[in-house]
Amino acid sequence: MAKTIKKKNATVRYYTKPKDYLYMALVHILCAVSVICIMIPLIYVVAASFSSPKALLSGQVFLLPVDFTLRGYKMLLHHELLVTGFCNSLLYTVVGTVINLVMTVLAAYPLSRKDLAIRNPIMLLFTFTMLFNGGMIPTYILIKNLGMLDSIWALVVPTSISVWNLIITRTYFQSTIPGEVQESASVDGCDDFTFLIKIAIPLAKPILAVNVLLYAVGHWNSYFNKMMYLSTNTKFPLQLVLREILVNMGTAGMTLDVTKQLEMQETKYLLQYSSIIVGSVPVMLLYPFVQKYFVKGIMVGAIKG
């Protein structure tokens, strides 16, 4: 049986029975196995991106690079549209995340207030959209009729709010801001908008950081919508630029002789792994800045609904 002893700034758990130690050992083993299963593919991709094409095709690469080379990265970085694609992805991600954050907060805060009489019907309408939507073709026709095709607005307006993020943000407001605080603020003459800006949002930094991470990763990794709504290659995000590089390399190799086709295929394999790293690094660099808020925001936002 585990005994819990509360100290001044921490809670310490002491395990007194053998089955408690066995349980914790099992938990640690399962966690270690999970980490290994996740890390091995990641390490393999990194190693493959620095290995020679022949080593990749021959299956020599596992956890360490073989015949170390930067050939894949040099080919990607010298492509004329790579920098443009990166800037486009950054623009779409920043603008989309800002819109998402504003819309989520403006929807979640009123829905967290008990004095909003129709909050349950409104929440039901939001939840309904998680189960049913208009479909791909009607959505495309709507975007076209609104004149948003081949523009940033086709990418950020239809996805301006995530119901899941709305739910956890609303729950966070309910859990961390007591009704007494709102009542005291209203007595002092603080209106709802001022309370939201000066009190609610500063207290909601953890859940806002979670929203930033989730929305930013979603925009950065978004692929299908951008492929469907964008037609000008100078507006392509990084993911579509990387796809174009691989597709063009595959079609160009069809007109070559057998030897050249084999070399082209080897290079294509190398570029696939290099493009994965190039597309993933920016998002990986974002996580350390919001890591300290992430667990707290998710846990508090999901405990009570």
Residue 64 lies inside a defined structural domain of this protein: no
Same-domain status, 128 and 272: yes
Same-domain status, 38 and 82: no
Tokens of 165: 């993020």
Q: What pLDDT sits at residue 189?
A: 80
Find the CATH number of the domain harbouring 125: 1.10.3720.10
Residue 63 lies inside a defined structural domain of this protein: no
Residue 59 lies inside a defined structural domain of this protein: no
Same-domain status, 258 and 223: yes
Same-domain status, 170 and 229: yes
Same-domain status, 224 and 165: yes
Same-domain status, 8 and 90: no
CA atoms of 268 and 266, how far apart (whole Å): 5
Max CA pair span of the chain: 82
Same-domain status, 165 and 89: yes
CA atoms of 87 and 93, how far apart (whole Å): 10
Residue 95, CB half-sphere, CA atoms under 13 Å: how many?
A: 13
Residue 66 lies inside a defined structural domain of this protein: no
Overall domain count for the chain: 2
What DSSP letter does each residue of the chain carry, written as one string?
-EEEEE-SS-EEEEE-SHHHHHHHHHHHHHHHHHHHHHHHHHHHHHHHHTS-HHHHHTT--SSS-SS---HHHHHHHTSTTHHHHHHHHHHHHHHHHHHHHHHHHHHHHHHH-TT-TTHHHHHHHHHHHHH----HHHHHHHHHHTT-TTSTHHHHSTTS--HHHHHHHHHHHHHHS-HHHHHHHHHTT--HHHHIIIIIHHHTHHHHHHHHHHHHHHHHH--HHHHHH---GGG--HHHHHHHHHHHHHHHGGGS-HHHHHHHHHHHHHHHHHHHHHHHHHHHHHHHHHHHHHHHHHHHHHH--
CA atoms of 62 and 39, how far apart (whole Å): 12
Tokens of 219: 């925009």
Q: What pLDDT sits at residue 57?
A: 81
Of the candidates 205, 211, 209, 204, which has an alpha carbon nearest to the alpha carbon of residue 290? 209
Residue 278 lies inside a defined structural domain of this protein: yes
Q: What pLDDT sits at residue 20?
A: 77
Same-domain status, 25 and 134: no
**pTM, rounded to two decimals:** 0.81
Same-domain status, 182 and 227: yes
Same-domain status, 4 and 84: no
Residue 249 lies inside a defined structural domain of this protein: yes
pLDDT-flagged residues of the chain (< 50): 1, 4-10, 304-305
Of the candidates 132, 205, 142, which has an alpha carbon nearest to the alpha carbon of residue 163? 132
Residue 33 lies inside a defined structural domain of this protein: yes
Residue 199 lies inside a defined structural domain of this protein: yes
Q: What pLDDT sits at residue 305?
A: 47
Same-domain status, 26 and 165: no
- Domain holding 13, by residue range, is 1-49
Same-domain status, 142 and 190: yes
CA atoms of 286 and 294, how far apart (whole Å): 12
